[in-house]
Amino acid sequence: MTITRSEELTITTKELLMCLHKMAEVLEANREYLTSLDAAIGDADHGINMDRGFKAVLAKLPSVEDKDAGTILKTVGVALVSTVGGAGGPLYGTAFMQAGMAVAGKYELEPQDVLAALDAALKGVVMRGKADLGDKTMVDALTPAVNALRRALENGSGLTEALEQAAAAAEQGMKDTIPMLAKKGRASYLGERSIGHQDPGATSSYLLIRVMADVARELQTQQEP
Ligand code: ADP
Ligand code: MG
């Protein structure tokens, strides 16, 4: 990491790789939790899917560790699409592939690049899954996160603070899925019975953004005297 202007973090590809490793760790640790959420309104595989997908990602990362951030993120997306079935794999796969396109060729990500990547990820999920806000999906965690990140950067916050706000917004978005009636994916088959349960995909989205905020915080702290 280098600090450019007043405490502005930039994320190197090495740090991006570290972040992806941490995402895999957190998904492994939350495998049962995510699966139990999916047991209530789906088919009890979301934690298994995400863990399997990110294990496949970890196996692929060594082959791209010298590449640009775009190539790394696209590789993550392809690994997810090709190893995870159901809705989650293609949706997260598209998200990472689109994020990769947004930062193609870059070896260092500035705060605006992180915003562009997350925004592209969200647009990818919406393009692929056609979910609206309020349909009780990962879109309900990702949308407030991207909005909070954009707002914080516009207001002059550094990346660490902006990602912290994005994680807080994603957490709120995740909790807000509890009273929602599912309109997309397997949970929608339950109709009214989907009400009262937290959406698994919104939960994994929150966990991934939480990792981004934690990694940024860690890098920032390391740099401070
Ligand atoms: P599956 O539903 O095929 O078993 P997962 O269990 O891995 O796949 O993922 C379920 C999650 O996928 C849901 O909790 C929801 O957040 C998300 N999801 C499902 N359909 C859509 C969609 N059309 N758009 C966005 N997210 C969706
Ligand atoms: Mg499922």
For the chain, the structural domain boundaries read 8-223
CA distances from 212 to 159, 161, 182 (A): 10, 11, 27
Cα(183)–Cα(200) distance, integer angstroms: 14
**Residue of 35, 184, 190 with the most ligand 1 atoms within 8 Å of its CB, for mutation:** 184
Q: Strand pairing partners for 108?
A: 12
Ligand 2 mean position to 223 CA, how many Å?
40
Q: Which pLDDT score, from 0 to 100, does residue 4 have? A: 47
Fold of 8-223: 1.25.40
Distance between Cα 186 and ligand 1 center (Å): 7
pTM above threshold 0.75: yes
- Per-residue pLDDT of the chain (225 residues), as tens digits, is 554 444 578 999 999 999 999 999 999 999 999 999 999 999 999 999 999 999 999 999 999 999 999 999 999 999 999 999 889 999 999 999 999 999 999 999 999 999 999 999 999 999 999 999 999 999 999 999 999 999 999 999 999 999 999 999 999 999 999 999 999 999 999 999 999 999 999 999 999 999 999 999 999 988 776
Pocket of ligand 1, beta carbon within 6 A: 38, 42-43, 45-46, 49, 86-88, 91, 125, 129-131, 137-139, 184-186, 199-202
10 Å CB burial of residue 130 (0-12, 13-18, 19+) is exposed
